Amino acid sequence: MTDPQTVGLATLSMTQSLTLFQQFLPRFQEISAADPAEDMGMVRDVRMGELAAVVTTLGIGGMTSALSGSSTPAVVAAITAGGLILLYEYALANREAARAD
């Protein structure tokens, strides 16, 4: 059976990851609305935001894992960050593909 403290800290890691990505990265609407030819900085902004959000997320996951003595919060943080990176990279690729047509 899972310890409630571990579940709580894993949930904290996941919600902090979502919040950090919202804070550090542009909104999906801004990414899809930006013209790749005119807004060359959008890709750079997204990648820098991803880096900042992932490093902070993994730090929080590592700290909560150390507090709980379980690797679950760190694993949840890593999975959440990985999923969010995939979403943002898909948004960038989809934007460029839509403009290519």
Long-range contacts formed by 91-96: CB under 8 A, 24+ apart: 91/28, 91/31, 91/32, 92/31, 92/42, 92/43, 92/46, 94/32, 95/31, 95/32, 95/34, 95/36, 96/36
Phi-psi bin for 80: left (phi > 0), alpha (psi -120 to 50), beta? Answer: alpha
Q: Global pTM?
A: 0.84
* pLDDT tens digits along 30-44: 888 877 667 778 888
Q: How would residue 1 be classed by pLDDT, with cut points 50, 70 and 90?
A: very low
pLDDT of 26 above 80: yes
pLDDT of residue 96: 57
